[in-house]
Amino acid sequence: MNSHWIYGAPNLTHSMNPNPQVLVVGGGPGGAAAGYWLAKAGVSVTVVEKKKYPRDKTCGDGLTPRAIHQLLAMGFEFDIPTMHRINGLRAYAGSSKIEIPWPEHTIYPNWGGVIRRADLDMDVAQLAAKQGAVVRDGTEAHAVLEDGVLAGVELKIKGESGEIETERLEPDIVVVADGSLSRFGRALGTERRRDYPYGMAVRGYFESPNSHDDMLESQLHIMDSQGRTMPGYGWIFPLGDGTINVGAGALSSFKGWKDINTSRILESYVDGLPGYWEVTMDSKLTRPLGGKLPMAMSVGPKVGRNWIAIGDASGAVNPFNGEGIDYAYETARLASGYIIEALGSGDLTRLRRYEDALEDEYGDYHRVARAFVIAVGNPAVMRTLTSIGIRSKPLMEWVLKVMANLLEPEEFGMAERVYHIIEKLVKVGPEPLIRSR
Ligand SMILES: Cc1cc2nc3c(=O)[nH]c(=O)nc-3n(C[C@H](O)[C@H](O)[C@H](O)COP(=O)(O)OP(=O)(O)OC[C@H]3O[C@@H](n4cnc5c(N)ncnc54)[C@H](O)[C@@H]3O)c2cc1C
């Protein structure tokens, strides 16, 4: 047996259960959190991750208060040197600047963080293992279908010298947590809605003397090669260890989307950075890497007869700001509740309630977000909004709350009303601002 039990911690001896009740495909934030919540409830669960921990994932490494809230719930140890604490956001629109602390909220903490994904994801996988989940890295899952139904999972396990062993499991339920490309999900018939927006982003690491900054920094005026303001933003997320994560992302609602070259956008963003970062493209530590961000629950179906999709595999990224780590944790926790119920009752149709729960939790927010994303796809709208917003601290405080999904429940109706006011204010351009409601 060449599978790799992470950490091999002697106090974490897991019984060798060839057929766990639940198999989780993917050991990123979603998969590891599902492993945690299921194991905590006493479910026998195995998480398989095709790469070996610590594994990197192309990301901005930024955690908003929603992500911190989920990590706290899982007992994450925050006093580790790899986690850099963040107190708010510094936003630029061109050379105009504003600084806003994270808002006070009745549920979420008023702080965030930046941590490399190689560290974060391994630490959360370890939390799942401590609860009793079996976590196997270097193990890739493939769906075995019979008459179009998921009948089992074939595992391909890479040995030390590169040889591949195979093994077949037949769990009761499979959690699809294999990220934005979601090949496992696609084999089960999931697809991304083409009429929903999605994002593309690229990031690299740099050394900087300002790495201990306690603010996330973003530039809201990013431009394509023709000088048009694009929906999206450039970011610097400081890691507190002498390095910073620098990236830029754009949204598919932009009219010139097909011609976008995210690497060039990153280059011109880095060229224009404030001097205190002391960064140029020549001082990069790593080659910039990019990835896709499936948004607004754009991937479905999210539930099949014996499977359930979470995180990026369900398109859970927030369209307002491109965060997906927190939504991977949240959807994992939500899905785990329905899995526990389905296993407890022996009635797998109960999994279907997960889709309704997602709609209750995120439906209104995503409807506003989708409309907003389409509106800001118009360069004139994007320019107008950022230049109005950056001049008003109360407005930007409110915008941060909306974008990071930190509104109190009673504030949400107000968000929608204010969105419609903004929509009227910036009615420019030949296309209707809202196409997808
Ligand atoms: C450039 C960029 C910057 C971003 N910045 C941020 C940010 O700052 N903050 C934020 O919150 N979000 C950010 N995101 C989004 C965030 O990275 C994702 O939303 C998040 O990683 C989703 O977690 P997940 O568990 O669903 O998927 P993933 O993190 O992608 O994890 C999926 C895992 O499944 C594994 N896997 C895939 N197929 C198989 C298989 N067949 N068998 C076994 N394992 C498999 C993969 O190796 C991977 O480890 C960014 C995304 C990009 C592209």
Distances (CA, A) of 264 to 59, 60, 230, 256, 281: 18, 17, 13, 14, 11
**401, part of any domain:** yes
For range 339-359, the mean pLDDT = 97
Last residue of a domain, one of 363, 389, 412: 363
How far away, in angstroms, is 183 Cα from ligand 1 center?
13
pLDDT in tens, 68-84: 999 999 999 887 888 99
Q: Comparing 188 with 252, which gets the higher pLDDT?
A: 188
The full DSSP string for 225-265 is: TTS-EESEEEEEEE-SSSEEEEEEEEETTSTTGGG--HHHH
Distance 401 CA to ligand 1 centre (A): 24
299 and 190 Cβ atoms separated by less than 8 Å: yes
Backbone CA torsion sign across 101, 107, 108, 109: positive
The model's pLDDT over 311-324, given as tens digits with 9 standing for 90+, comes to 999 999 999 999 99
Ligand 1 centre distance from Cα of residue 430 (Å): 36
- Asked if residue 47 has its Cβ within 6 Å of ligand 1, the reply is no
Query: From the CB of 385, is ligand 1 less than 6 Å away?
Result: no
Tell me what pLDDT residue 1 has. 36
Residues 209 and 247 in one domain: yes
Among the candidates 248, 276, 294, a domain finishes at: 294
Nearest atom (ligand 1) to Cα of 26: 34
**Domain limits at 111?**
83-115+195-294
Confidence of residue 259 (pLDDT cuts 50, 70, 90): confident
Q: Does ligand 1 come within 6 angstroms of the Cβ of 30?
A: yes
- Across the chain, what does the average pLDDT equal? 89
pLDDT in tens, 7-18: 433 333 344 557
Mean per-residue pLDDT, 18-23: 92
In this structure, is the dihedral angle defined by the CA atoms of residues 400, 403, 404 and 405, taken in order, positive or negative? Answer: positive
Residue 205 and residue 283 in contact, taking contact as beta carbons nearer than 8 Å: no
What is the residue with the minimal CA distance to atom 3 of ligand 1? Answer: 59
Please name every residue paired with 88 in a beta bridge, in sequence order, or none if there are none: 101, 215
Supply the pLDDT for residue 150. 98
Which ligand 1 atom sits nearest the alpha carbon of residue 33? 25
* Domain presence at residue 203: yes
Amino acid 54: pLDDT: 95
Residues 125 and 39 in one domain: yes
Token representation of residue 305: 């007869």
Residue 302 sits in a domain whose CATH number is: 3.50.50.60
State the distance from the centre of ligand 1 to the C-alpha of 324, rounded, in angstroms.
8
DSSP-H helix ranges across 150-256: 183-187
Ligand 1 atom nearest residue 31's Cα: 25
Q: Is the C-beta atom of 51 inside 6 A of ligand 1?
A: yes
Mutate which of 137, 203, 218, 312 for ligand 1 pocket (most atoms within 8 A of beta carbon):
312
**Do 255 and 316 lie in a common domain?**
no
Q: Is 27 in the pocket of ligand 1 (CB under 6 A)?
A: yes
Q: Do 300 and 188 reside in the same domain of the chain?
A: yes
State whether 209 and 270 are in the same domain.
Answer: yes
Q: Using 50, 70 and 90 to split pLDDT, how confident is the model at 158? A: confident
pLDDT band for position 291 (cuts 50, 70, 90) = very high
Residue 120 is predicted with a pLDDT of 97
Domains in the chain, number: 3
Q: Is 217 in the pocket of ligand 1 (CB under 6 A)?
A: no
- In the predicted structure, residue 329 carries a pLDDT above the cut 80: yes
**Quick check: CB of 58 below 6 Å from ligand 1?**
yes
- Whether 302 is covered by a domain: the verdict is yes
How far, in Å, CA of 313 to CA of 331, rounded? 10
CB 112 within 8 A of CB 65: yes
Protein residue whose Cα sits closest to atom 10 of ligand 1: 323
Residue 436 has pLDDT above 80, yes or no: no
Q: Is 299 in the pocket of ligand 1 (CB under 6 A)?
A: no
Q: What's the gap in Å between 389 CA and the centre of ligand 1?
A: 31
d(CA 288, CA 263): 7
Q: Is the CB of 330 under 6 A from ligand 1?
A: no
How far separated are the first and last CA of the chain, in Å rounded?
52
What are the structure tokens assigned to 286, written together?
A: 């790593």
The confidence score (pLDDT) of residue 383 equals 81
Residue 256: its pLDDT value, please?
81
- Ligand 1 atom with the smallest distance to the CA of 49 is 44
> Which residue has the least CA distance to atom 41 on ligand 1?
141
Q: Is residue 189 domain-shared with residue 337, that is, in the same domain?
A: yes
Q: In terms of domains, do 185 and 207 share one?
A: no
For residue 221, the domain's CATH number is 3.30.9.100
* 393-411 pLDDT, tens digit each: 888 888 888 888 998 877 7
311 with 278, same domain? Answer: no
Return the pLDDT at 13: 37
| Closest atom of ligand 1 to CA, residue 313 | 26
Ligand 1 neighbour 288 (Cβ under 6 A): no
306 and 400 together in one domain: no
Hey, what are 33's tokens?
Answer: 């959190």
Q: Name the least confident of 160-169, 258-267, 301-310.
A: 258-267
2 has a pLDDT exceeding 60: no
Which of 294, 312, 340 marks a domain boundary?
294
**Residues 415 and 347 placed together within one structural domain of the fold:** no
Is the CB of 224 within 6 Å of ligand 1?
Answer: no
In a domain, 236, yes or no: yes
